[in-house]
Every structure is written in C-alpha cells, then in structure tokens.
Structure 1
Amino acid sequence: MSGFALLASTGPSEEDAGGLDRALARARGLGMVEIARNAVCVLLVEPGCSYARRACGEGEAFFFGDAFERKDAVPTRLSGIASLLGGLWGDFCSIALRTWPEPQVEIAPALFGTARVFVFEPASNERLYASSLDIGLALAEEKPAIDVEELGAFLTRSTFPRRRSCLSGIAQILPGTFDTCSLQGQRTTTWWNPWSFTPQRSGQVARGEPEALRRVIMDCVAQTARGSHPLLELSGGFDSSVLAHCLAEAGTDFEAVTLVSSAADGDERLYARIAAEAAGACLAEIAMRVEDIDVARPPAVRTVQPGPHILAQHMDSLVEAVAADLGCDSFISGGGGDNVFFATFSVVPIVDLWRCRRSPAAAWRAVRDVAAITGAGQIEVASRAIYRSWWRDRAPRWEPEIDFLARALRNVQDIEHPWLADVDMTRPGTARHVRSLIGILPCLEGYARGRQGRLKFPLLSGPIVEHCLGMPTWEWIGGGRDRAYSRRAFGGFMPSALLARRQKGALDGMFAQLFSAYRTAIRDHLLGGYLAAQGLVDAQAIEHYFAAQVILTDKQYYRLIELAGYETWCRAWA
C-alpha cells in the first residue's frame, strides 16, 4: 500500500510560514510524487503507492487501503467526503480535494482498522497529514518530545482514544471524524456515530434473524481476504473459529497459527485443532517461552503513545516469523470480536430489557441468563439489576487505572469523545456496548505485522458493527450464553465443541511466570527510568510491592508489567 503525505495551508501564518515548503522539498527528496493539488494543499505519495480515485462533487477523492462498496448504502444529502464514506466500508484512509464552495481538503482515517492519519503542525496555519508516523517524522523538522501531561492522562486511561498524542505537536484524527482544511481554518466533523444504529435511535427493536448476521460476517470476511494468502491467528475461541469457518466457506487459501503459552490456561491447542480441521486448514503450533522475552526490548514500531504490552509484542514477533516461513502476505485476527458481539458479565442487559418491555417474566429470564454466564446466584443478580436500574449516569463510566501511579494523577478528568457527545443513558447496556467499541480503537496499532495494512480485523467491519449495534443487548445473553446472538448465527455450521465452549483461554499464568522470572529487572526498569524521574509513578508503592514477596494472585503484577512496557516506550523517545 505504501503511504501518503498531505501538506495543507489554513491561512496566512503569523510565524515562519516556510514549514510546508521545506516539508515539500524533503518529500520530493525522499522520492515522493505529487498526485494532486488545489489552492489549499498538495497531496504526495511514496513510490509504488496504490490508491483509488473517484469524483467527489466539484473535486476528486483518493482512497488508500481496502475500500469496499456497501450493498446496503442509502442515498444521503451529505456532500464532500461524508457522502462517499457512507457508501463504503473497510480499512482505508480517504482524502477529498474540493473547489466548491471554496478550495478545501477533507481527510479521514479508517473507521475501525489500522489505517490512521497523523497530524503535524509546522506553524499556526499549516498542517502536515501523514498516513504513517515514519513519513510524518521524515518530513517534520524536529524530533518530538514526550508530552508529559498527555502521558499522565494516558496512564490513567490507556484504552481511551484521544486526538492529542503523547508526543508534543502530533495528533491523530479520531475514527469516525474527518478534518477539513481551507483558507478559513481547520475544523473537525463527526461523520459516523454508533448511536445512529442503536435500537432506541434507529426505531427498530431488532435487525433480522441471526442468519442475517451470518451473511454479513461471511461477506465481510470474504472481501477482506480476497486476493491474499493470509495467516489466521486461531486460538480456537469463538471469534477466531468463526473466521476460520468463513474463510473456508469463501474458498480462501489460508494458513493458521496458534500460540501456546507455557502455562496451562493459555494452551488452547485442542480447540484450535478442531477449528482448523473443520476448516481444512494447516495449523502451526508455536510455543511461547518466558526465557525468550526481553522485558526492556525497544518497541518494534514507533507509535505516538505506549503500545502493546511486553507479551503482546513477543507474540507479534512469533506470528510474523510464522507468516514469513509459510509465505503469507497478510494476517487475519479475531480482535474486537468481544467488543462487537458484546461479551458482557454485567447486569445492564437486564436493565435495558426492563426499561424497554416492563415484563417481569422476560426480566426474570434475563436474570437467569446472567446468573448462568457469571456463576452468581439469581437473587444476587436480581438485586444488582434492581440497584443498577435506579442508578442514572450522565455518560458511560470509564474507570481510571490508578494502581502505582503518582497521587497527582489520581484526580482523573472527565472523558471527552465525539461518540459520547450525544450519549443516551436510558439504556445502560447499549451505552456499555458503545463504550466497548471506543475502547478497542487504541488496541489495533503498534504491531510490526500491521505495517502496510497487513493486519486485518474483519469482525470490526462497518456492516458487522452496525448490525450488532442494532440488536437489543439482552439478545447477547440469551440462553445463558455470552455472545448468544452470534452463536445462534453460526449454530449448525461449526463444530458443536466450539459453539458450546464456555471458557476462554487466558495469559494470566504466563504473565505470572514472566513477572517471577524478571522480577528484579522489572523493578529496576521502573524505579530507574523516565516515569519515576517525571513523578508519574508512585515509587514508594512499587518498592513496597516488590519488597512484600507477594503471592501472585492479586493481578497487580500485570499492572507492573504493563507500566514496564510504557517505560520502555518513554525511553525510546526521551
């Protein structure tokens, strides 16, 4: 795919206005080729960059990545880039250069995916947009410094997406929004909002039978994998097993890999083998060993905020090596499936059902369902649901992560996101579903195997997400099964052992082994590093934890491993 750079002016600058000229000269020096311009901007691409081009009102639009036509697209009165985005889905960036009503350019990243847009500001009225951080840094004039204030905000809510990044002077356009640059300035517009597809906003109680969801998933997976030889990351869990089934049904030539942790809770070979055999795929089984992990290894990919944890980066390198050995050109992951299929252990679906139907019989069935999923008693579940029904929030809760952080960071600010600007809290279950979709956005980047758009997340395809948002939340717990609606969609099409599976694999055991093996190294890494020097972590609490020789049952060791990964990111930029 390669990448692009867009140099845009938003009016006369009071500062040195030569930043864009110098960036343009550097871009040409790097071999980038100009493909379009208007009175506001210049669009350049790297050699060999592929893109699609089409008319867009009084101008033209460019699409970088995998953009697919929607079968269910409806006419819209929107203009410019928003009129095109509603009829497409996929993992792509889009840019529209327009001449009416004034010279302007509009830029949007992928809705759910790895195609991002980074924003640099050479001067007050100049913008540099880049499809990768590496391109932006190559064209920018200075190495960015760490934004300590934003880093502190990140540490308290690491899975909350922000436009402002942890590197000074660099931002990201948030998914579902686009930037517009003209000589009148720069503004950001929201073009996609999850609330538009929820039952209370769409006016629909449900959106078809489970078979409709299966058809949507089958179509999205087939189009995502078309023309490639992908490596499926197959755990044998429900989500990845669905992908194996869909790839086989589409006739895709694919390979599969499962990673086996050194602890029993992460060994899912039994289920992975069942899924691979049913799909007719070859399965590579790769052992993960604690002794192969370097807890202080610099990240393989430069990111604008701390990326995947230490173990995830090790898994990334293992999978990438398997793909090279098998000749695969892309990766397919079931990441985001829990979010889209609303895997929940909460009582909020009961509250949604009661507020919608006021049926004691239906509410009690939902109580039994939640009790079966969670293992809690029915009376306890009912009590929690009654309590929760009287509890009115103004916005979805996003609990801060404050363990081992400095006291100054514990007074956490309210969260702001375009998808929470018009939040509807009358259905707390739906609100939690939307929140889970927001929370997956920062978790899709930072992987070496994701370079050049090679890492695909088919279950996060727009048509699938929108269909699932349209389902009442209690449908996802029906029959006492998590993700029940999606399980019904594939009932009879997949091995019963996979559909009936209740327990998910976990990495808790391997994290505990990792902490035990590198206890001293993690301690020294944290106490002698950037986070401690900046006063962002509570050094005394960290020292106390390590001195206590605790039994690893409290999961705080996971938080320390996580913070050690953040420390490594800081050292790479400091």
Structure 2
Amino acid sequence: MKRGVLAMLGDARVAIAEAATRNRLLPVTKFPGLSLFVGEAVRTELLADGSIIVGDIFPRAGETCLASSDGWGNYLAFGRLGDILFAERAPLTGAALYWGRLGGGIICASHLALVEELPFDASIDWEFVAHGLAYRNLRTQRTGIAGITELLPGSRLKVDGARAQVEQIWSPWDHVGRANSLPMAEVASALEQQLVASVAAWTLGRGDIVLELSGGLDSSIVAAALAAAGARCSAITFATPGADGDERLYARAVAARCDIELLEIEHDDHTIDLVGPPTNRHFRPGAYAVLGGIDRAFDRAVGDREISIFGGIGGDNVFAFDNSVAPILEAADHFGYCRQTFRTMRDVARAANASLWDAMRLTYRARRKGPRRQWEQDRTFLAEGAVPDRPFAHPWDEGARGASQAKRNHVEAIRRILDFLDRPERWHDRDVVAPLLSQPVVEICLAIPSWTWVAGGRDRSVARAAFAPRLPPEVAWRRGKGRIESLCIAAYLRQRPALRELLLGGRLAARGLLDRVAIDGFFKRDNLDGNFDYFRLLEIADAERWVRSVEAAPGCGPSRDQR
C-alpha cells in the first residue's frame, strides 16, 4: 500500500512489523514506545521538537515549522510530550487515522486492510450502522468496527501507559468571530490571495497534477488558482449521455482560459454496479456505488500513473452555499430590521429564485421556530423505533451554542463534506488534494458574514468576485450546476430486481432496521419523475454492501449477533 500508515503507541508487537511487511510498508523510525511504518509514497519529516510528520506540512508564517502547531496541511504527527505518546491529525485535510487497543498498546492505522489480520475483535458495531442510516454524513469518532475509533481532523490522541485520551486542538468556532462589514472587494481580494497561496503550497514537490474539472464554479476556481500559482497540470472532465451531466462546454472554456490541457471522458449507467461488493473495505461505509461509473472511467483514463489529484470538492460547503433564510436572520440580529437586512432579504430571494414575500414569510417562520439544535434525521425507509433518537456527539457540537443559524449551517456544511474525502474508489491509495478545504482558506471563509456570501443575489458571491477576472464569465456567474439524475435513474431501473433482493433479503432487513413494506412498495413504482427517494435506497444499499463485505473479510470476526 503506497500511502498506508501503521503505528503502535505503547507495547510494540511483532505482529505490527509483520503486518507492515505484508502491506509493503517501510519503517520510519523507532523511539521508545513508538513503532511507525508508512508506504513508499508517504513523505516524512522530523521537526525541531522531535515529532515525526507523516504527509505534508506547510508553515503558516516564516519558512519552517518547529512544531506541528506552526503549520497546516494533510499531515499526521507522532511524538512525545514528556511521558505521554501522541498521534495528531491536521485540521480539515488531515490524513485519516483510526485507533484501537491491541494488547498493552494502541494500534493506529490509515486503512482497514492494514489491521484485518491482527488479533483484535473486528466485529460490526450495529449501533453505528443504525445511527449512520438515520443521520446521513454525520461523521463522528465512532466507526462501523467495534472498538475502533477515528482520530478526527484537528484532534490529538494522547497515550499514557494504559490510558488513552483524545483532545481537540482546532475548532471552527474559534474563527467564527463577530461579523464585520468590510467591502466586498476587500474580502474577495483576501480570499483570492489566500487560496492562490494555499494552492501554490500544495503543488510543491508534486509533479504530475491532474485536476478533476467539472466545469462548475468550484473546480474552475481551483483551475484558476493553479494557473495563478504557475503550476503545470492537466485536467479531466466526465460527461454522461444525458445533457444534465454533460458540462464539457464549460470545462473547455475554463481549460482554454487557464491554458490547461483537457481530457474528456464519457461514461454511462452500464459501468455502474449498484449491488456488487465494494472494491475496498473501510472502517465505515465508503464508496457511493452510484459514482462507480466515474471511478471506472477515471481508472481507464489514468491507469497506474503516479499522479496528484486536485479537485473542487468542498466549494459549496466552504463558500457558504446556503439556500435557507438564515443569512436574513443573522443580518437582522447584527443590524436590526434596517436597510441592510432588507437588502439581504432581497438577495436571498433572488439567489433562490423566490419572491420577496416568500423570503419574508419563511424568515418569520424560522424566527419563531428558533435554531435547529441537532443534526437532521432521515427515517425514510427505516423501521419505526429501529434507529436512535439523538445523534452521536461530535467535538464541534459544543461551540454551536450561541452561534447564529447561518454559522451553524456553515460549520455543518463543512462537517458534511469531510465525510466524503475518503469515499471515491478512484481516490483509494492515491495522492488527493482538496485545496478549497485548506485550513487558512476555511478560516477566512468562516469569518465572512453570511449575508456577504449572498450579496447581489448570487450564491458563493465572495468566491465569484474573487476569481471572476480569472474565469470565463459564463462560468464565474453561472447559476446552474451539472447533475447526473438521468444516469442514476437509468442505473437504478436496470438493476432494480437485484437491488430489491439485496435490501429485502439482506443483513439490514434481518436486523429489523428497514421498513420492508415501504421499500417493496417503492420498488414497484415505474414513474420516478420528481421523486428522488431512489437515492435514499441507494444509500441504504451502500450500507448493506459494506456490512456484507466486512463480514466476509479475512480476520474480521462475525457480527456479535451471529456468534
């Protein structure tokens, strides 16, 4: 595994070295209490404070990082604080790391495959499965494997003998300050400069860069930032037979404007397998099967080339794409019901293609209802009483108290996209960079008032203003987005009998988690115009596929209900 990480904090065991050898990991260094192995493509660095950096770390100021707190990136840090061993994960873009007890120590691993054959209880956590079905994209430290915990971005695991404790070292709420009223030009300029600088940092030491360029605003901004940073790269865009998923005209315009070579790849529903086992097993449900066509098309185009994949993932989330009336409420709390607030109301209505009356009515209703207190629950196709009433806790929950609904929405959106960073199969064991989620960029965006993001009646208005001079106008100011509904419907209808068998005869149904009657009734429907509940069935099918793959894995014991 080229980018695997395996470590033992505490009592080192021969089995760890054997697992590392089996997966072609190389020893980095060993000091008392730590055994660390990484893949051949993983960068390592020793900092002045004695900690070992695994991955990329970029200084926030100056030319070097004396300690991990001096930098940002996608790093993991391992080291000592007195008698305490620690593993630390960078905020936001930190590489994934999972940990659990093994013998007298703590085992840490980046991938499930690295620990599948080690002697620990790898049964499925069914409480997690039920929770994941009800609270979509709510990623907490809990995983689908009993006894295994994820070290979340911006947190540190401290091990002192038999004790293990996790502390949060970064929070988005520290960057959500009191709203300011800087001019749009000034805010946009600051965002542009920081994003270009962050992209330039990511390109250091990377040779063959391939940009996934959809033609939408977010990936186009990354293209413009790469060009501004003087990076040499190529781009790849994917097109479906249906017009809704064909954005080649926009991608071509951006590639021409940024002087980037563009490869165009077509794919259709016949390359999508909605029922087969996932290619790779993960600590929690991973790849979305419905995106398998893109994954396979990418692999055909790129093959085994050693590349760095850049993309626009996270743009909607970081650039505060919020189609609610929350910016109006935040403006009213800050300015009172004056000209600025009514201007925001007009902007929100225009951005949503709604009337001013609709915006006023929904604002009044939202004010009376108050802020949403917890993650939204979805019980569609789930059995009554089978899922938890409350979501699992997350370190960022605490800071939400006292925050406006707009800022809660912004932080929640960032949390949602962090659940996607390791899902696509085409990214497995590859060098993937999400520049829009760079820590300095996110911190700037969190401080921007919500009403500024909708100024002029356009979503993501600050980002648009920042990069409009570098992009074709038809891309910088476009309102629509490419979609793949026609492709998804075709894949669903073609594989509907197999999906029905997978769900109604599967492990989730046997556990009593699913509403069999509702699911069977939906499978009998032929007219799906305007009804997107089939997406929900595909999400549930992904969870079923994951459960079956884990139960069939070597070294992973049966679920507790099967013993």
TM-score normalized by the length of structure 2: 0.91
Contact 1:371 1:377 in 2 (8 A): yes
Which 10-residue stretch deviates more, 61-70 or 225-234? 225-234
2:200 pairs with one of 210, 222, 226:
222
**How is 1:23-42 mapped onto 2 (pairs within 5 angstroms)?**
23-24=15-16, 26-27=18-19, 30=22, 34-42=27-35
Alpha carbons 1:93, 1:115 under 8 Å: kept:
yes
Q: 2:84 is matched by which residue type in structure 1?
A: Q
Query: SS of the residue aligned with 1:522?
Result: helix
Query: Which residue of structure 1 lines up, in the alignment, with residue 533 of structure 2?
Result: 556
- Which residue number in structure 1 is paired with residue 47 of structure 2? 54
Q: Give the match for residue 309 of structure 1.
A: 288
Q: 8 Å contact 2:155–2:167 — kept in the other structure?
A: yes
Question: Who is 1:96 aligned against?
Answer: 79
Give the letter aligned to residue 94 of structure 1: A
Take 2:314 and 2:20, find their aligned partners in 1: how far apart are those partners? 39
Output the CA distance in 2 between the equivalents of 1:385 and 1:242.
32
- Residue 75 of structure 2 aligns to a residue whose secondary structure is strand
Q: 1:376 to 1:179 in 2, by over 3 A?
A: same
2:558 equivalent in structure 1: none
Gap change, CA 1:335 and 1:38, over 3 Å in 2:
same
Name the CA distance, whole Å, in 2 between partners of 1:141 and 1:246. Answer: 47
Shift of 1:477: 0.3
Partners of 1:279 and 1:558 in 2: CA distance: 35
Q: Would you say how many aligned residue pairs link Structure 1 and Structure 2?
A: 546
Shift of 1:22: 4.3
Report what 1:445 is aligned to.
422
Identical residues among aligned pairs (%)? 29
**Distance in 2 (alpha carbons) for counterparts of 1:497 and 1:215:** 23
- Tell me which of 72, 96, 99 is aligned to 1:119: 99
Which of 80, 101, 109 is residue 89 of structure 2 equivalent to?
Answer: 109
Q: What is the deviation of 1:263? A: 2.1
Higher mean C-alpha displacement, 188-197 vs 564-573: 564-573
The answer for the alignment partner of 1:504 in structure 2 is 481
Deviation at 1:400, TM superposition (A): 1.2
Q: Please list the CA deviations of residues 217-245 of structure 1 after superposition, one character each: whole Å capped at 9, or x if unmatched.
A: 11111221233211111111100111111
Q: Does 1:132 align with 2:86?
A: no
1:237 aligns with 2:247: no
Q: Check 1:446–1:493 CA distance in 2 against 1; reply closer, same or farther (3 A cut).
A: closer
Query: Which one-letter code corresponds to 2:532 in the other structure?
Result: K
Change in Cα spacing, 1:463 to 1:114, as seen in structure 2 (3 Å) is: closer
Change in Cα spacing, 1:188 to 1:271, as seen in structure 2 (3 Å) is same
In the alignment, structure 1 residue 348 sits paired with structure 2 residue 326 = yes
Distance 1:399 1:475, change over 3 A: same
Would you say the 8 A contact 1:230–1:328 is kept in 2?
Answer: no
Distance 1:260 1:277 in 2: 18
1:320 to 1:90, Cα distance in 2 relative to 1, 3 A = farther
Query: What's the RMSD between the two structures over aligned residues?
Result: 2.4
> Alpha carbons of 1:549 and 1:312: their partners in 2 closer, same or farther (altered >3 Å)?
closer
| d(CA) in 2 for partners of 1:501, 1:72 | 39
- Which of 502, 514, 521 is the matching residue for 1:525? 502
For 1:77, the equivalent position in structure 2 comes to: none
Give the distance between the partners of 2:288 and 2:343, measured in 1 at CA: 39
The answer to whether the aligner puts 1:178 opposite 2:160 as a matched pair is no
Contact 2:5–2:110 (8 Å) recurs in 1: yes
> CA shift at 1:563, angstroms?
1.6
Query: Which residue of structure 1 lines up, in the alignment, with residue 6 of structure 2?
Result: 5
Provide closer, same or farther for how the CA distance between residues 532 and 114 of structure 1 changes in structure 2, counting only shifts above 3 A.
Answer: farther
Match of 2:355 in 1: 377
How far 1:345 sits from its partner (Å)? 0.7
Matched AA of 1:6:
A
| Per-residue deviation, 1:255 | 1.4
Q: For the residues of structure 1 that align with 2:45 and 2:406, how far apart are their CA atoms?
A: 39
Per-residue deviation at 1:107? 0.8
Structure 1 residue 28 displacement after superposition? 6.7
Q: 477-486 or 259-268: which moved more?
A: 259-268
CA drift of 1:403 comes to 0.9
- Scaled by the length of structure 1, the TM-score of the pair is 0.89
- 1:167 maps to 2:168: no
Q: How big is the shift at 1:428?
A: 1.1
Gaps of 5+ in 1: 10-18, 75-80
- Structure 2, unmatched stretches of 5+, are 552-563
Check whether the contact 2:271–2:292 (CA below 8 A) recurs between aligned residues: no
Q: In structure 2, how many angstroms separate the alpha carbons of the residues matched to 1:488 and 1:431?
A: 24
Q: What residue identity is the alignment partner of 1:135? A: L
Cα distance in 2, alignment partners of residues 252 and 301 from structure 1:
32
2:412 is the counterpart of 1:435 = yes
Instruction: Find the partner of 2:58 among 58, 68, 82.
Output: 68
SS of 1:141 mapped into structure 2: coil
SS at match of 2:448: coil
CA distances 1:500-519 after superposition (whole Å, capped 9, x unpaired):
20001112222112112212
Residue 357 of structure 1, CA deviation:
1.2
CA–CA distance in structure 1, aligned partners of residues 340 and 232 of structure 2:
45
SS of the residue 1:553 aligns to: coil
Distance 1:319 1:32, change over 3 A: closer
Q: Deviations over 1:374-422 (max 9, x none)?
A: 1111011012112323433373x42112111121235521442111112
| SS in structure 1 at match of 2:235 | strand
Matching residue of 2:243: 264
Determine if contact 1:262/1:290 at 8 Å carries over to the other structure.
Answer: no
Describe the shift of the 1:388–1:394 C-alpha distance in structure 2 as closer, same or farther (beyond 3 A): closer
In 1, are the aligned partners of 2:212 and 2:237 still within 8 Å (CA)?
yes
Q: Which of 155, 158, 179 pairs up with 2:136? A: 158
1:12 matched residue in structure 2: none
- Amino acid of the structure 1 residue aligned with 2:53: F
Matched, 1:457 2:450: no
Q: Which residue of 2 aligns with 1:87?
A: 70
Please identify, of 302-311 and 31-40, the stretch whose mean Cα deviation from structure 2 is larger.
31-40
Distance 1:483 1:28 in 2: 45
Partner of 1:198: 176
Evaluate the alpha carbon distance shift between residue 259 and residue 564 of structure 1 in structure 2; reply closer, same or farther with a 3 A threshold: same
For the 8 Å contact 1:206–1:470, the answer to whether it is kept is no
Look up the match of 1:16.
none
Q: Does the 8 A contact of 2:172 with 2:446 survive in 1?
A: yes
Deviation at 1:454, TM superposition (A): 0.9
Superposition deviation, residue 314 in structure 1: 2.6
Task: Output the CA distance in 1 between the equivalents of 2:20 and 2:326.
Answer: 55
- Which amino acid counterpart does residue 361 of structure 2 have in structure 1? S
- 1:437 positional shift: 0.9
The alpha carbon displacement at 1:4 in A equals: 3.2
